Amino acid sequence: MTLPGAPRGRPRDNRIHQAIVTATAELVLEVGYAATSIGAVAARAGVGKDTIYRRWSGKAELVYETLFTQTETAPVPDTGSLAEDLTALLEALLEEFTAPAAAAALPGLLADFAANPDLQARIRTQFLAPAKERLVAVFERAIQRGEAVPGVPVDLVLDTLAGAIFFHVGLVGERPGPELATQLAAVIGQGIEAR
């Protein structure tokens, strides 16, 4: 008998999860985003395709989680300065987005997102929400220090920061230097500073 609310089936094995994400990153790097398939990932990870589909809706979601969510688990920067906190967040994002597999995946991934509104909604709620929470924490501290005023449009700030990175890495295809993080942080900081 199963208790109400109890998870059904076997608990997820973290080793299987790690094998899948490792296989995904390797394949994207080796053959590119377009040629990476759920079947190829499953074969390399030594699992069935159903195992992957129980965890992710498809290739785009799997690749996004594998390559673009590492910064979400890092501690939120607390340097004592809004500009420095934003710079630290942006440096981590730039490092994540310019990693070879991530840079290889980004153009195809953006095309898949653009073509699928359901996928866009899942990415925004499941994966971008933690990034927003991190940014909210940074701005809450900045407000307490008098560096920012309440009511900062965090969604717009996040879109601005991510958009600049997507543009440089995904569309222009360049590997921006660390000065981009400092410049973006300064632009955002000046735009929302307390007056």
Which residues, 6+ apart, have CB-to-CB distance to 90 below 8 Å? Answer: 161, 165, 180, 181, 184, 185
Residue 78 vs residues 17, 93, 172, 193: alpha-carbon distances, Å? 31, 16, 32, 17
Amino acid symbol at 49: K
Query: Given this model, what pLDDT does residue 3 score?
Result: 38
- 128 touches 110 (CB < 8 A): no
Query: Given this model, what pLDDT does residue 37 score?
Result: 97
How far is residue 162's CA from residue 91's CA, in Å, rounded to a whole number? Answer: 12
Query: Given this model, what pLDDT does residue 188 score?
Result: 84
Taking 70 as the pLDDT cut, the residues of the chain under it are 1-12, 127, 193-195
Query: Given this model, what pLDDT does residue 58 score?
Result: 93
Query: Given this model, what pLDDT does residue 176 score?
Result: 80
Query: Given this model, what pLDDT does residue 16 score?
Result: 95
